[in-house]
């Protein structure tokens, strides 16, 4: 994965969230022009608000952490979404004209119910839940994100996979008109990810459609993306257009790009280093420039819910 040594100081390190929120309306009034940031007053960078429409009927989940969530600003301006560029601020800058509606999701493969569904029809059978999860990126940074999503286990059950379905494969939209990063070959497009059927039906797995009670911003994977909090963030494929029930292990983007660095499982594991850096510790985004790194937990702290999925598996070889 590209690691950029940019001198970018994130907005949260300059402006407290309260100040930021107070300035929101002012900022909204005209700070975004042609997708680029402009300064409202000399020297002060302002951040356009990309908060979306409010979602309703959200219930709380016992799976949420009580750790303090990152600010909306952190979550929506420090992103990985290579379809919009490889820099951390590129998705925020370049995804604002992206159209997450109309949107269809094609469900195919070894399942009794398949077809192409309009996003709203796809969502109808499922209940929205808030899931406040830790997210640990393979690049050794982390955040706490209050997702709104639907249970992936419920989604899988709804489409009635047959006994041949051993994996669930996902694909992102591949549209170079809307996604300028696709014009470069930073990855082999479309972005692809996959889970075993046991992982997909684990109660922690969700398809997220919101953050902080509002629809998910484009840069975070609108209108729908995967969240598996015990795995490195790259498993969390964004802007999903295809779900395929397969009998063999699907090819996945980062594994295709560098199999010795990014495994299929990609479970958070502080004991297995990335070939180029240790995974023992992580930098919590928003903690401030001088904060100590914190220890990374096995399965990102979700071992109680997921360790049984990997019983008998050598986690060094199956990383
Ligand atoms: N999905 C797509 N389609 N393209 C991407 O580049 N990046 C992944 C993942 N999903 C990525 C993607 C990586 S590396 C991470 S860490 C998370 O998205 C980041 O999610 P966030 O930007 O919402 O924090």
- Res 1: pLDDT: 74
Whether 161 lines ligand 1, by a CB cut-off of 6 Å, is no
Q: Which helix (H) or strand (E) holds 21?
A: helix 17-22
Nearest-atom index, ligand 1, CA of 78: 22
Minimum CA distance residue for ligand 1 atom 21? 79
Q: Is the CB of 95 under 6 A from ligand 1?
A: no
Contact 140, 277 (CB under 8 A): yes
pLDDT band at 48 (very low <50, low <70, confident <90, very high): confident
Share of residues in the chain with pLDDT > 90 (%): 84
Q: Strand 167-172 vs strand 192-196: parallel, antiparallel, or unpaired?
A: antiparallel
Would you state the pLDDT for residue 16?
36
Residue ID of nearest Cα to ligand 1 atom 13:
234
- Report phi then psi at 199, rounded to 5: -70, -40
**% of the chain residues with pLDDT over 70:** 86
φ and ψ at 117, to 5 degrees?
Answer: -120, 135
Number of H helices, E strands in the chain: 9, 17
SS3 307: helix
How many residues appear in the chain? 319
Q: Is the Cβ–Cβ distance between 103 and 118 less than 8 Å?
A: yes
- State if residue 252 touches ligand 1 by the CB under 6 angstroms criterion: no
Answer yes or no: are the C-beta atoms of 8 and 31 closer than 8 Å.
no
pLDDT in tens, 91-135: 999 999 999 999 999 999 999 999 999 999 999 999 999 999 999
Residue nearest atom 10 of ligand 1, based on CA coordinates: 237
Residue 82, pLDDT score: 98
User: In 3D, which of 210, 207, 206, 208 has the Cα closest to residue 55?
Assistant: 210
Total-model pTM: 0.89
The better pLDDT of the pair 219, 35 is held by 219
Question: Which residues are CB-contacts of 319 (< 8 A; sequence separation ≥ 6)?
Answer: 263, 265, 266, 267, 269, 272
Q: What is the spatial distance between Cα 49 and Cα 35, in angstroms, rounded to a whole number?
A: 12
Tell me what the mean pLDDT of segment 46-70 comes to: 95
The mean pLDDT of the chain is 89
**Cβ contacts of 312 within 8 Å, gap of 6 or more:** none
- Sequence-distant (6+) residues with CB within 8 A of 189 are 83, 174, 182
Residue 63 has pLDDT above 50, yes or no: yes
48 strand-pairing partners? none
265 contacts: CB under 8 Å, gap ≥ 6? 231, 310, 315, 318, 319
Beta bridge partners of 231: 267
The CA 224 to ligand 1 mean position distance, Å, reads 12
pLDDT attached to residue 3: 45
Confidence of residue 2 (pLDDT cuts 50, 70, 90): low
Query: What class does CATH assign to 19-310?
Result: alpha beta
Q: Which of 13-27, 95-109, 182-196, 301-315 has the lowest mean pLDDT?
A: 13-27
Encode pLDDT of 162-174 as tens digits: 999 999 999 999 9
Asked if residue 72 has its Cβ within 6 Å of ligand 1, the reply is no
């Amino acid at each position: 994965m590209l690691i950029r040594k940019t001198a970018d100081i994130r907005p949260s390190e300059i402006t407290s969230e309260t100040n930021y929120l107070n300035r929101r309306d002012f900022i909204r009034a005209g700070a975004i022009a042609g997708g680029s940031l402009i300064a409202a007053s000399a020297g002060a960078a302002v951040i356009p608000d990309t908060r979306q429409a409010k979602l309703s009927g959200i219930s709380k989940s016992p799976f949420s952490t009580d750790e303090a969530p990152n600010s909306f600003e952190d979550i929506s301006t420090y992103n990985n979404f290579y379809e919009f560029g490889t820099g951390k601020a590129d998705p925020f800058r370049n995804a604002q004209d992206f159209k997450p509606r109309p949107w269809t999701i094609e469900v195919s493969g070894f399942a009794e119910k398949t077809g192409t569904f309009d996003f709203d029809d796809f969502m109808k059978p499922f209940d929205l839940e808030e899931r406040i999860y830790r997210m640990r990126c393979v690049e050794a940074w982390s955040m706490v994100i209050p997702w709104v999503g639907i249970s992936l286990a419920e989604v899988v059950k709804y489409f009635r996979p047959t006994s041949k379905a051993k994996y669930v494969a996902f694909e992102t939209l591949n549209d170079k008109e809307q996604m300028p990063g696709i014009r470069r070959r930073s990855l082999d497009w479309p972005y692809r990810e996959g889970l075993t059927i046991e992982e997909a039906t684990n109660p922690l797995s969700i398809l997220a459609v919101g953050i902080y009670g509002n629809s998910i911003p484009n840069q975070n994977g609108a209108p729908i993306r995967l969240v598996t909090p015990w795995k490195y963030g790259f498993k969390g494929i964004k802007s999903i257009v295809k779900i395929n029930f397969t009998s063999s292990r699907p090819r996945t983007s980062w594994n295709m790009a560098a199999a010795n660095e990014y495994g299929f499982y990609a479970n958070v594991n502080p004991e297995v280093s990335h070939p180029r850096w240790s995974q023992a510790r992580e930098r919590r985004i928003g903690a401030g420039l001088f904060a100590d790194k914190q220890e990374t937990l096995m399965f990102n702290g979700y071992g109680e819910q997921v360790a049984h999925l990997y019983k008998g598996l050598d986690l060094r070889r199956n990383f």
